[in-house]
Structure 1
Amino acid sequence: MTFKTSASMAALLLALSTGIAHAGEAIADPFGRADASFSRYPLNLPGTPQAVGRLTNGDVCDDDEGIACEWEDDTGVHHIFAGDILAIKTVDVAALGDRNITALDIGAARTRNEVLAKVRTFLPEIAIDCLEPGKAGEGEGVASCSGTFENGGWIKLLFGAGNRLTSARIDAFQIN
């Protein structure tokens, strides 16, 4: 009888633990992997903006008026909520300087070719397409590279002068 109980308990523990990624293990779902690479706060789930960190645009934001409030965590990632649901995460490369960027496994890469190689290796399941300056619609001299996930979320990388990375972003859904 004890053997059956122990075997049942072991089977239950194994079943419960199979979906949990342990530290250092890769996340199979590309959206989940990309999301986790930006910050520990999960997209598309309810959360408390104040728990993320500091409000960076407190005097110029009003979520009710359509001016998104941005909450910065301790690593410099900005988080934008739609109501109480985390919708967007962004990284401003200039603010990080030479620090490694964990988002999308960009690391120390900053040129367009280097960044795209790193991101495509990190997310081989996602096609990444680029629009050149003038066609990207992101401002004069800015190129945009993006990819879409099966769940409807997407990533966007912006490159400015000299094809240098200026920002990285992940959206769970369209908020406006």
Structure 2
Amino acid sequence: MRRRFVIEAVMVATYGHLLVPSRPVDYVVPYSTIAELYDMKDGADPVMEDPSDDKHVKEKIGELIAFFEDPLNRKKIERALQVPWRESSPLLLNDKIQFTIVHALDNAQYGELFDPIETEVLLAGMKLDTPILSDQIEFQERLIEAEIPVLIYDIDDFEFAVEEGVEPDEFQQHRDL
């Protein structure tokens, strides 16, 4: 069974270990985070502090953009973008990794506590009953403080989340508590 995680596209490019999971995974990616990849790849601001790391990550971002621009993948994404909260058909990267693009929409419900991308990530996690995978400690802390009913894993706990993480039926039980 594939483990599902809501994640920003750039994190997949930034953290190489996410591309070699021990079990099959489905990365649910809000579309707006794919659009953000273009700015990060071509922008003057570094993604990483170390210049060689920054160059490497920008190359990986370029590869991820090329994957999403593949004609078949592009067609699947465009279909999902026709209706709010629609999920794309799976975009297969390899036998262990697939992406599902969701046409997430920000709403004002959490606008004061979270930026638009964070809001789309947390709403996707809530609406799809899917754990979130993030490297942003402040975001994780704000989710906890605001008592948002989502499960979040830190990127450093990725292997645990894949191997030992909460099953989908258990996830719903946690939300109902």
TM over 0.5: no
Structure that is richer in strand per residue: 1
**Structure-1-length-normalised TM-score:** 0.28
Q: Looking at both structures, which has the greater relative contact order when contacts are Cα pairs under 8 Å and sequence separation is at least 6?
A: 2
Kindly name which structure, 1 or 2, has the bigger radius of gyration based on alpha carbons: 1
